[in-house]
């Protein structure tokens, strides 16, 4: 699971399968939702 850092929506991997972009707010900043040490995934 991934989480948009902008609108806090949870995204499935299918949502960002082709593009790392939030379908809700079009933000390109999405984080993997893991309890410990969240990794930022920034797309240009
Ligand atoms: Zn978003």
The first and second tokens of residue 12, run together, are 């499935």
Cα(11) to ligand 1 centroid in Å equals 9
Q: Please identify which residue in the block is written with the tokens 């993997």.
A: 32
Cα(10) to ligand 1 centroid in Å equals 8
Q: Secondary structure of the chain in the HEC alphabet? A: CEEECCCCCEECCCCCCCCCCCCCCCCCEEEECCCCCCCEEECC
pLDDT digits 0-9 by tens, 21-43: 898 999 988 788 766 666 777 87
With beta carbons less than 8 A apart as the criterion, state whether 11 and 19 touch: no
Whether this model's pTM surpasses 0.95: no
Instruction: Give Dmax over CA atoms of the chain in angstroms.
Output: 26
pLDDT digits 0-9 by tens, 9-26: 998 888 888 888 898 999
């Amino acid at each position: 699971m991934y989480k948009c850092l902008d609108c806090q929506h949870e995204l499935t991997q299918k949502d960002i399968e082709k593009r790392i972009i939030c379908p809700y707010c079009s933000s390109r900043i999405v984080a993997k939702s893991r309890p410990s040490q969240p990794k930022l995934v920034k797309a240009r």
